A and B are shown apart, each in its own frame.
Chain A
Amino acid sequence: MNSDAIALDDHSHAPSGVMRWLTSTNHKDIGTLYLCFSLLMFFFAGALAMLIRAELFQPGLQLFQPAVFNQLTTMHGLIMIFGAIMPSLVGFANWQVPLMIGASDMAFPRLNNWSFWLLPAAGILLISTFFVPGGALAGGWTMYPPLFIQGGIAYDIAILAVHILGVSSIMGAINIIVTILNMRAPGMTLMKMPMFVWTWLITAFLLVAVMPVLACAITMLLADRNFGTHFFDAAGGGDPVMFQHLFWFFGHPEVYIMILPAFGIVSTIIPTFARKPLFGYVSMVYAVASIAFLSFIVWAHHMFTTGMPLGGQLFFMYTTMLIAIPTGIKVFNWVATLWRGSISFETPMLFALAFVFLFTIGGFSGLVLSLVPVDIQLQDTYYVVAHFHYVLFSGSAMAIMGGVYYWLPKWTGHLYDERLGKIHFWLTAVAFNITFFPMHFLGLAGMPRRIPDYALQFADFNRIASLGAFLLGASQLLWLYIVIKCVRGGAPAGNQPWDGADTLEWTQTSPPPYHSFVIPPLVK
Chain B
Amino acid sequence: MIEPKHIDRGVGPYFCAIRSLIALLAGALPASARAEFAVNLPAPASALAQQIFDLHTTILWVCLAILIVVFVPMAIALIRHRRAAGHPAAKFHDNLKVEIAWTLVPVLILIAMAWPATRLVASMKDTSKSDLTIKVTGHQWKWEYEYLGEDIRFISNTSTPTTQIDGGQSKGEHYLLEVDRPLVVPAGQKIRLVLTSSDVIHSWWIPAFGVKQDAIPGFIREAWFTVDKTGTYRGQCAELCGVGHGFMPVVVEVVGDGEFAAWKQQQKALVAAATAGATKTYALAELKALGEKVYGANCAACHQPTGMGIPGAFPALSGSKIATGDRSAHIDRVMNGKANTAMAAFGAQLSDLDLAAVITYERNSWNNATGDLVQPADIAAQRSGSAK
* Residue positions of A touching B, CB distance < 8 A: 58-62, 65-67, 70, 132-135, 138-140, 144-147, 149-153, 225, 233-235, 238-241, 274-283, 305-307, 310, 313-314, 317-318, 321-322, 324-325, 328-329, 331-332, 335-345, 353, 356-357, 360, 364, 367-368, 371-374, 376-377, 379-381, 438, 441, 444-446, 448, 450-461, 463-464, 467
In the bound complex, residues from chain B placing their C-beta under 8 Å from that of A328 are: 66, 102, 106
**Minimum CB distance partner of A73 in chain B:** B240
Pair A329/B200 contact, Cβ less than 8 Å:
no
In the bound complex, residues from chain A placing their C-beta under 8 Å from that of B74 are: 335, 338, 356-357
In the bound complex, residues from chain A placing their C-beta under 8 Å from that of B244 are: 66
Pair A338/B175 contact, Cβ less than 8 Å:
no
Pair B219/A241 contact, Cβ less than 8 Å:
yes
Pair A150/B125 contact, Cβ less than 8 Å:
no
In the bound complex, residues from chain A placing their C-beta under 8 Å from that of B2 are: none
CB<8 Å pairs between A and B, sample of 7: A134-B313, A240-B201, A305-B213, A307-B214, A310-B125, A446-B235, A464-B25
Given A66-B245, A147-B240, also A444-B340 (CB < 8 A):
no
B167 at the binding interface (Cβ < 8 Å): yes
In the bound complex, residues from chain A placing their C-beta under 8 Å from that of B39 are: 441, 444-445
- Contact pick for A146, options B164, B207, B217, CB 8 Å: B217
Indicate with 1 or 0, residue by residue over B11-34, a CB within 8 angstroms of chain A CB atoms: 000000000001001100101111
In the bound complex, residues from chain A placing their C-beta under 8 Å from that of B165 are: 60-61, 453
Given A343-B78, A460-B37, A464-B29, also A373-B242 (CB < 8 A):
no
A62 to B168, CA, bound (A): 11
In the bound complex, residues from chain B placing their C-beta under 8 Å from that of A463 are: 26, 29, 32
A306 to B216, CA, bound (A): 8
A325 to B235, CA, bound (A): 35
Indicate with 1 or 0, residue by residue over B25-54, a CB within 8 angstroms of chain A CB atoms: 110010111111111111000001101100
B312 at the binding interface (Cβ < 8 Å): yes
A389 to chain B, nearest CB (A): 18
* Nearest 7 interchain pairs by C-beta: A234-B218, A133-B312, A134-B312, A451-B246, A307-B221, A445-B38, A342-B89
Pair B37/A307 contact, Cβ less than 8 Å:
no
A497 to chain B, nearest CB (A): 15
In the bound complex, residues from chain A placing their C-beta under 8 Å from that of B199 are: 146
In the bound complex, residues from chain B placing their C-beta under 8 Å from that of A306 are: 214, 216, 221
A61 to B93, CA, bound (A): 56
In the bound complex, residues from chain A placing their C-beta under 8 Å from that of B216 are: 234, 240-241, 306-307
Pair B89/A274 contact, Cβ less than 8 Å:
yes
* Residue positions of B touching A, CB distance < 8 A: 22, 25-26, 29, 31-42, 48-49, 51-52, 55-56, 59-60, 63, 66-67, 70-71, 73-74, 77-78, 81-84, 87-95, 98-99, 102-103, 106-107, 110, 113-114, 117-118, 120-122, 124-125, 164-167, 171, 173-177, 199-201, 203, 205, 207, 210-214, 216-219, 221-223, 235-247, 301, 310-313, 340-342
**Minimum CB distance partner of B109 in chain A:** A324
In the bound complex, residues from chain B placing their C-beta under 8 Å from that of A282 are: 94
Pair B52/A376 contact, Cβ less than 8 Å:
yes
Pair B38/A457 contact, Cβ less than 8 Å:
yes
Pair B42/A147 contact, Cβ less than 8 Å:
no
In the bound complex, residues from chain B placing their C-beta under 8 Å from that of A446 are: 42, 207, 235
- Contact pick for B214, options A283, A305, A377, CB 8 Å: A305
**Minimum CB distance partner of A271 in chain B:** B93
A460 to B175, CA, bound (A): 15
Pair A234/B40 contact, Cβ less than 8 Å:
no
Given A241-B219, A445-B39, also A371-B94 (CB < 8 A):
no
Pair A368/B77 contact, Cβ less than 8 Å:
no
Given A133-B311, A240-B218, A338-B81, also A372-B246 (CB < 8 A):
no
**Minimum CB distance partner of B164 in chain A:** A60
Given A67-B243, A441-B39, also A331-B70 (CB < 8 A):
yes
B183 to chain A, nearest CB (A): 17
Given A66-B246, A146-B217, A341-B77, also A367-B63 (CB < 8 A):
yes
Pair A374/B312 contact, Cβ less than 8 Å:
no
A58 to B166, CA, bound (A): 12
- Contact pick for B124, options A373, A455, A464, CB 8 Å: A373
Pair A147/B200 contact, Cβ less than 8 Å:
yes
A5 to chain B, nearest CB (A): 34
Given A280-B94, A444-B38, also A275-B78 (CB < 8 A):
no
- Contact pick for B176, options A134, A240, A310, A453, CB 8 Å: A453
A457 to chain B, nearest CB (A): 5
In the bound complex, residues from chain B placing their C-beta under 8 Å from that of A458 are: 35
- Contact pick for A460, options B29, B117, B241, CB 8 Å: B29
B173 to chain A, nearest CB (A): 8
A357 to chain B, nearest CB (A): 7
Given A379-B238, A453-B165, A459-B32, also A317-B200 (CB < 8 A):
no
Given A61-B165, A305-B213, A306-B216, also A150-B37 (CB < 8 A):
no
B105 to chain A, nearest CB (A): 9
Q: A451-B245, A456-B171 are in contact. List 19 more A-B contacts (CB 8 A).
A: A61-B165, A66-B247, A133-B313, A134-B313, A138-B242, A146-B200, A150-B200, A313-B125, A332-B102, A335-B77, A342-B87, A371-B113, A373-B48, A374-B52, A380-B238, A441-B37, A450-B245, A452-B246, A455-B175
A344 to B81, CA, bound (A): 9
**Minimum CB distance partner of B19 in chain A:** A441
Pair A277/B91 contact, Cβ less than 8 Å:
yes
Output the residue of A344, A445, A464 with the most chain B CB within 10 A. Answer: A445
In the bound complex, residues from chain B placing their C-beta under 8 Å from that of A448 are: 205, 236-238, 245-246
In the bound complex, residues from chain A placing their C-beta under 8 Å from that of B214 are: 305-307
Pair B313/A459 contact, Cβ less than 8 Å:
no
In the bound complex, residues from chain A placing their C-beta under 8 Å from that of B42 are: 445-446
Pair A321/B51 contact, Cβ less than 8 Å:
no
Pair B38/A373 contact, Cβ less than 8 Å:
no
A70 to B313, CA, bound (A): 13
A319 to B293, CA, bound (A): 51
**Minimum CB distance partner of B234 in chain A:** A455
A140 to B48, CA, bound (A): 30
- Contact pick for A152, options B26, B56, B312, CB 8 Å: B312
Pair A360/B67 contact, Cβ less than 8 Å:
yes
A460 to B36, CA, bound (A): 7
B339 to chain A, nearest CB (A): 8
Pair B34/A456 contact, Cβ less than 8 Å:
yes
In the bound complex, residues from chain A placing their C-beta under 8 Å from that of B218 are: 233-235, 238-240
Pair A276/B90 contact, Cβ less than 8 Å:
yes
